[in-house]
Structure 1
């Protein structure tokens, strides 16, 4: 910005209600919400071993505990994004934050796998109100494109930091407290967010949004959950009747949703947004990137703890390089995309992630940390570049009145990618893992528990004599690592293909320069 532009007076709506300082303080509140959702998505992986020990979920229930949060968020994001555009993004954000805090207490005190699945689903409902609201508010508070790029970079860097802080904080808590403590840390953050947000955040909404169409809400929820469930079911059990039925229901609901949007005067999601190649390319890149990353990272925590025998805190610290990398590149991504080009920064970032995941396909049980740490650092560097720039492209290619709906599409791609990644790549790991042979002297119930999950094998081994237990554990760990190799290989191929697609889809795409005209 030039000195003249910096001196140019701004209205309260533009400044977030308190000059330049007000804008950045408002951003600080928004990133708290993002921090929380990101922490919540990653602490679960770390708490899985101790949670499995106490609640004794089956392998399928364990996947549901991991997945349901993403399923529900994915199914509701578009609806919640457009609800925020209608009733006010601040109001929706603060309501969701309050609910998130309350449900976290329920999750922490779950006493059975079923309660845990329901609690995680409710957390998903609350989480769906937070993410689109934060990005939409950034779009409306920061009217200068360069400032907005930096704000989005900080937003993305916080999400990455949260994803990394989650395992470290979670690991520290798990070494001293019950597994439920990893969810109780949400409470103080939510209280601060609500109290400070009431004072600092400006309200913004679409003045001509029209009514919220409940039929569209139901169709998008049924459609997204139906399709994701079908993929998960087919990946786990093959082509079953359940999977076929869910596919038909999900696809029909999504088709009806799209058709309905074209007929409504005030659609829940303006389908014309997808005519913008930059918007569509950025959404596709996000979906496939998260698909490749999430499935793998979900199992990496188990590898570090259950295969390499690290304590939860040590495992959390081991995953830190990914976040450090993402924070570093997230903050400079906007500047680099302007200096070089959007497509080179996004495609380069995705290509780097693909190569790093290819290296992770080579890890063995006894692999030293430098190989894993270096790969995770490169994954983080690439993710910081690609996610920050795609978020910027998505937000700047729509009118600010539709910021909620647009950021909801971006978040839906993200959550859908996460759910599909955990389901499909998780099924590859599980399928390969279950093929190991148990020693003949292991009783049938223990052998069955060992084949359910690696956590089950660790527990089964502790009930056997040391020699048999060690033999069982070696076989189980070897099979888990084999599964991880296949999943890493698939992830690497997906990311490299996505890098190629981004290079073509984002051709000619530019981030906005200078100051937008103020109304």
Structure 2
């Protein structure tokens, strides 16, 4: 089956069946992004990783994924996007099964890296296939809205599914989710997904692949590490290496007759503005989730499943907003909708800040609902603008850039806002006298550490420690919310300028 055949009016139903198939890997990757966080305590107990190993179990997947999205998008343009999708799905499912039975922490780290390798094949292919299957602008916008809703739906399912599995099975069960999702993809993908490729693809360039992998992975690592180790010489050297290799990569693409990635796409204000809006919108949601999930579990005392249920309305609103915005786009300009979405993100943060502290669970629910609406608006339209502003043949490269923005936004949301929150907590918590050095260190590091220490203390020591720890955490939430407001206002202003013709 060809793209031309699938784009004909008689094949309309088949196009939507193809979209349904493409939603399977989207849901899986979205669930995988949130479900692992709930499995970390069980993994720690079963495999006994060191602190460094535990960080690598979590971080190695996004490091590899972020570094390979652009090269894999380019490979899909050359060798076929469906082919790369099915290869990636097969590899991801196989490695996930092995990871479920990993005997050691080091083995799990290696397997998570392999999952990042195959995951990088999946995501650019899904979005680029949508760009080529849906040639009608309104149909494409609705298809992208459904695609974006898949991420939100997966994020909503992650805590609920993860909580259920971990209450009934061992930690490895969260990795076995890949099998029932990806097996139907392999079968149906061969039947309803068309093959597509760039008729004039970028050249295979091993050096460019190494450069972008080095630039993206070291950037992600340095951003994450600065919140753990501070601005150490090693972290700053890694960040400098990321910048140098990134500049080298861009220079190489600009001076090759047939580059792996056409970086001149960023000369288009609509494209660059939409990529920025994409990154900053995800930044706002992930940063918000970082502190609200802790508040619900560590301050309000809810279980992971209960916390997930409190967040569920906001995630549902994200999905609904992403779908409703397709109709709104018939009346309002896309650039205006992106600006409105980013401003709603700012309002969500303002609601938290104006409450004085982290506020009640009901207040957080409303704030997250506003944020969800903003992300639903801005994510759907920005992804559509990214794809619509480039030729269909370059959809793989554009999709890879969009996915890279998503991953970097996720990392920045946790690293920047999460890092600031942690630093403010450390500076504000008052550890009472009478604790051992180990207890004082744990209580002064995180709110979770303070709760663990307080559980083993007499009431005379536990109560003032808990009061101080929760107050320090909530004070950090107020400050980071203020920063979130400023960043979203700046993002809205940037979108207003760059997307004025969109």
Match of 1:385 in 2: 377
26-35 or 201-210, larger mean C-alpha shift = 201-210
Q: C-alpha displacement at 1:113, in angstroms?
A: 5.2
* Residue 478 (structure 1) shift: 3.1
Deviations 1:227-258 (A, max 9, x none): 33333334443432112321221111111111
* Aligned residue in 2 for 1:512: none
| Secondary structure class of the residue paired with 1:319 | helix
CA–CA distance in structure 2, aligned partners of residues 102 and 475 of structure 1: 47
Match of 1:214 in 2: 206
Alignment check: 8 A CA contact 2:3 2:195 kept:
no
- Secondary structure, aligned partner of 2:74: helix
Partner of 1:496: 489
Tell me if 1:134 matches 2:110. Answer: no
5+ residue gaps in structure 2? none
Relative distance call for 1:214 and 1:13 in structure 2 (3 A) is: farther
The Cα shift of 1:154 comes to 0.8
Identify the residue that residue 456 of structure 1 maps to in structure 2: 449
> For residues 3 and 109 of structure 2, what CA distance do their matches in structure 1 show?
46
Residue in structure 1 matched with residue 75 of structure 2 by the alignment:
83
Deviation, 1:66, is: 4.0
Provide the C-alpha distance between the structure 1 equivalents of 2:41 and 2:299, rounded to a whole number of angstroms.
12
Change (3 A) 1:497 1:365: closer
- Deviations 1:16-43, CA, capped at 9 Å, x for gaps: 9982221111100101111111111122
Aligned residue number for residue 140 of structure 2 = 148
C-alpha deviation, 1:175, in angstroms: 3.0
Structure 1 pair 218/386, CA: closer, same or farther in 2 (3 Å)? same
What is the rounded CA distance, in whole Å, between the counterparts of 2:245 and 2:3 in structure 1?
43
Instruction: Return the match for 1:291 from 257, 278, 283.
Output: 283
Assess, with a 3 A threshold, how the Cα gap between structure 1 residues 13 and 448 changes in structure 2: closer, same or farther.
farther
**Partners of 1:422 and 1:231 in 2: CA distance:** 9
Q: For the structure 1 residues 175 and 308, does the alpha-carbon distance in structure 2 shift closer, same or farther, using more than 3 Å as the test?
A: farther
Closer/same/farther in 2, CA of residues 454 and 257 from structure 1, 3 Å limit: same
- TM-score norm. by structure 1 comes to 0.89
Of 325, 331, 334, 2:326 maps to 334
**Selected match of 1:477 from 464, 467, 470:** 470
Match for 1:39 among 31, 39, 44? 31
Q: What CA distance in whole angstroms lies between the structure 1 residues aligned with 2:345 and 2:363?
A: 14
The CA deviation at 1:260 is 0.9
Q: Partner of 2:258: helix, strand, or coil?
A: coil
**What does 1:54-93 align with in structure 2 at a 5 Å threshold?**
64-93=56-85
Q: Secondary structure at the match of 1:440?
A: coil
How many residue pairs align between the two structures?
A: 500
Partner of 1:275 in structure 2?
A: 267
Say what the alpha-carbon RMSD is for the aligned residues: 2.5
Alignment of 1:369-408 (within 5 A): 369-408=361-400
| Alpha-carbon distance in structure 2 between the residues aligned to 1:438 and 1:158 | 44
Q: Which moved more, 1:11-20 or 1:66-75?
A: 11-20
2:5 touches 2:11 (CA, 8 Å); kept in 1?
A: no
Query: Shift of the alpha carbon at 1:318?
Result: 1.0
Counterpart check, 1:351 vs 2:343: yes
Helix, strand or coil: the match of 2:330? helix
Match of residue 195 from structure 2:
203
* 1: CA distance, partners of 2:445 / 2:43: 15
Answering whether residue 252 of structure 2 is matched by residue 260 of structure 1, we say yes
Tell me, in whole angstroms, the C-alpha distance in 1 between the residues paired with 2:444 and 2:111.
27
Higher mean displacement: 164-173 or 132-141 = 164-173
Higher RCO (Cα < 8 Å, 6 or more apart): 1
Given the alignment of the two structures, is residue 506 of structure 1 paired with residue 485 of structure 2, yes or no? no
**Counterparts of 1:254 and 1:352, CA distance in 2:** 33
In 2, Cα distance between equivalents of 1:48 and 1:403: 36
Are the aligned partners of 1:17 and 1:200 in contact in 2 as well (CA < 8 Å)? Answer: no
Structure-2 change in CA distance of 1:377 and 1:228 (3 Å): same
Q: Report the secondary structure of 2:329's partner residue.
A: helix
Conservation of the 8 A alpha-carbon contact between 1:296 and 1:484: no
User: How far apart are residue 450 of structure 1 and its match?
Assistant: 3.3
Moved more, 276-285 or 199-208: 199-208
* Distance change >3 Å, CA 262–CA 336, structure 1 → 2: same
| CA-CA distance at 1:61 after TM superposition | 5.7
The partner residue of 1:161 within 153, 162, 166 is 153
> Tell me, what secondary structure is at the counterpart of 2:259?
coil
Whether the 8 Å CA contact 1:164–1:316 is kept in 2: the answer is: yes
Moved more, 124-133 or 56-65: 56-65
Q: 1:440 aligns with which of 427, 433, 445?
A: 433
The superposition leaves residues 262-319 of structure 1 with CA deviations (integer Å, 9 ceiling, x where unpaired) of 2223211112211211001001111222223213313322221122111111111111
Q: How much does 1:471 deviate? A: 4.2
The alpha-carbon distance between structure 1 residues 234 and 166, as it changes in their structure 2 partners (threshold 3 A), is closer
Q: Relative to 1, partners in 2 of residues 1:111 and 1:424: Cα closer, same or farther, differing over 3 Å?
A: farther
CA–CA distance in structure 1, aligned partners of residues 376 and 358 of structure 2: 29
| Preserved CA contact (<8 Å) 1:132 1:411 | yes
**Structure 1: unaligned runs, 5 residues or longer:** 1-9, 510-519
CA deviations over 1:153-180 (Å, ceiling 9, x no partner)? 1111111111111122222223333343
1:516 paired residue number: none
Q: Residues 161 and 292 from structure 1, CA distance in 2 versus in 1: closer, same or farther, beyond 3 angstroms?
A: same
User: In structure 2, what is the equivalent of residue 172 of structure 1?
Assistant: 164
Work out the CA distance in 2 between the residues paired with 1:433 and 1:294.
19
SS of residue paired to 1:318:
helix
Of residues 369-378 and 443-452 in structure 1, the stretch that sits farther from structure 2 once superposed is 443-452
Contact 1:433 1:476 in 2 (8 A): yes
Cα pair distance change 1:180/1:465, threshold 3 Å: farther
